[in-house]
Amino acid sequence: MRDYSAHDAIFALSSAKGRSAISLHRISGSRVLEVLLPYLIPAKIRSGSADRKNFRAADFEHAKSKYVTVSGSDGNIIDDCVVTFFKGPSSFTGEDTLEISTHGNPLITARLHSLLRAIGLREAKPGEFTQRAFLNGKLDLTRAEAIDQLIHTETEAGLDLARSASEGRISQVADRIKEQLTGIMSYFEAHIDFADDEVGSYDSKSKVDELLHIDSELRQLANSFSAGLKLREGLRVSFLGTPNAGKSSLYNALLGYERAIVTNVPGTTRDVVEDRLKIRNCDFILLDTAGLRSTDDQVEKIGVARTIQSSSAADIVCIVLDPSQLDAGSFADSIQKESAKLLSHLNRPKNQCVLNVLTKQDTWTPELRASVDLHVTKLRNSGYEIACTSSSSNNTAELAELLEKYHKRLTADTVTPESAVLISQRQYDKVQLARQSLGAAIDLVQKNDFPEKVASMLIQTAQHTCDIVGEIGTEDVLEKIFSSFCIGK
């Protein structure tokens, strides 16, 4: 446990800045309670009265709250507060900690903080409470990073992933890999230290399978990063179609407000418009794009290029079609052809989903409706996903259902209660380093190379695996990690 001297006690407003019902202030450092005692009075005894009597340290029990009046160094009352004391090492930071809830007025905050400064405490840097918790061995780096994401994530899936990491899922997998490595390492170390007649003849290839198994665990961890990132940010859904197909209207109808400009002038949308969409607890980033057509207009040309770029990178592409522009006689063929033509402009990743969306349902003639019904059933039976919509009458239910279904399908493999999902670039980089050293070890083993060489690569692999969870590194590495945190966390 690091020993922070009393003058290195830190404080911060841990709740949001500004006016609110309550503000929460956090103070951490050795002996912070003793330092503050002269300013803490039982709330019922008003400051200045003859029977004013301060608390003693023994009055504060661990993890219990007290109703307390805090007074300034001039004896004037700052506020009536609820003070909770946490005795180190059983606190979040590992040090003695006080949490003070005041009325949520910035003027009260200013008075309290000026008292704390006057008695020698200093304002905490971003993430400094969590950094101290880490340095005091209260949590490892993956859990510290999880706390940061619990606060900052904007999606439901992000919250689930942060929860799982904060419960130590990544640490568990890293520990398991480390244990397996240690077991294998002992074989090679035995062959360094002892002669073959003592420990049996050296056959490094007997360890290949075990090493390949570890490699596959590390690969799975590495792959979880990009899948997790996608989930944390929301799946990207792009609307692709010709001008006036009804993309922007549909976009606005799904979002529930007029985000994109809608006109009957073909080529209205130029830039890619992005917004967040939540369907039940599935998060998406919805992209409205310029209609695909060849054009001489310089601005529209750039818009079309951006459409191609962002639709290529999307997780789900919605092919938006106005059926009145299709050949009603061979409707199914037209949908397939139109869809293939639009997709041919993209450079698609192999797991991209495609949904077909038919628009302007309110304008369909009875003949068109009959034709759509017939052909859509046929297409659905051959595996096409099709939603019929009408933005004018806010009918987007079929599309919303499809999006939700695909969100669940695409995410089912990534977030299971058992899965460990990497949640930071730092973790990913360490896993990749571990994989590199392990790859080198596997090469050596396959050549039945000297045990010294194999052991040295395995030690490196183990070191990088330890680094995922976080060994105490140099101060500047830690500063970099914790500086992105909130002040007061």
Please say which residue, 132 or 247, places its beta carbon nearer to Mg ion.
247
- Tokens 């750039």 belong to residue: 302
Least distance between Mg ion and beta carbon 324 (Å)? 17
269 contacts ligand GDP (rule: CB under 6 A): yes
249 contacts ligand GDP (rule: CB under 6 A): yes
- Of the ranges 119-127, 171-179, 227-235, 389-397, which one interacts with ligand GDP (CB under 6 A)? 389-397
244 contacts ligand GDP (rule: CB under 6 A): yes
Please say which residue, 228 or 291, places its beta carbon nearer to Mg ion.
291
Q: Residue 260 carries which side chain, given as an amino acid letter?
A: A
Answer with the entry of Mg ion, ligand GDP, none that 332 interacts with (C-beta below 5 to 8 A by kind): none
| Contact with ligand GDP (CB under 6 A) among 81, 146, 165, 262 | 262
H/E element, 404: helix 397-412
H/E element, 338: helix 331-343
265 Cβ contact list (under 8 Å, min separation 6): none
Distance linking the first and last C-alpha atoms of the chain: 20
Burial 101-134 (b: 16+ CB within 10 A, else e): bbebeeebbebbbebbeeeebeebebbbbbbbbb
Answer with the entry of ligand GDP, Mg ion, none that 249 interacts with (C-beta below 5 to 8 A by kind): ligand GDP
Asked if residue 22 lies in contact with residue 103, where contact means CB atoms within 8 angstroms, the answer is: yes
Contact positions vs Mg ion (CB under 5 A): 247-248, 269
247 contacts ligand GDP (rule: CB under 6 A): yes
Answer with the entry of ligand GDP, Mg ion, none that 246 interacts with (C-beta below 5 to 8 A by kind): ligand GDP
| Rounded CA separation 386/383 (Å) | 9
- Over the window 341 to 380, marking each residue x when it contacts ligand GDP by CB under 6 A and - when it does not, the resulting string is ------------------xx-xx-----------------
Token pair belonging to 436: 């590199």
Answer with the entry of ligand GDP, Mg ion, none that 241 interacts with (C-beta below 5 to 8 A by kind): ligand GDP
| Rounded CA separation 414/226 (Å) | 10
Spacing of C-alpha 12 from chain mean position: 25
Size of the site for ligand GDP (CB under 6 A): 21
Please say which residue, 262 or 468, places its beta carbon nearer to ligand GDP.
262
| Rounded CA separation 272/307 (Å) | 7
49 contacts ligand GDP (rule: CB under 6 A): no
Least distance between ligand GDP and beta carbon 268 (Å)? 5
390 contacts ligand GDP (rule: CB under 6 A): yes
Give me the sign of the Cα torsion angle 169, 170, 174, 175: negative
| Contact with ligand GDP (CB under 6 A) among 14, 30, 69, 248 | 248
388 contacts ligand GDP (rule: CB under 6 A): no
Please say which residue, 127 or 241, places its beta carbon nearer to ligand GDP.
241
Q: Of 271, 275, 267, nearest to 303 (Cα)?
A: 271
Asked if residue 383 lies in contact with residue 414, where contact means CB atoms within 8 angstroms, the answer is: no
Asked if residue 142 lies in contact with residue 171, where contact means CB atoms within 8 angstroms, the answer is: yes
DSSP state of 421: -
Least distance between ligand GDP and beta carbon 261 (Å)? 7
SS3 4: coil
387 contacts ligand GDP (rule: CB under 6 A): no
Please say which residue, 93 or 252, places its beta carbon nearer to Mg ion.
252
Binding residues (CB under 6 A) for ligand GDP: these are 241, 243-249, 262-264, 268-269, 291, 359-360, 362-363, 390-392
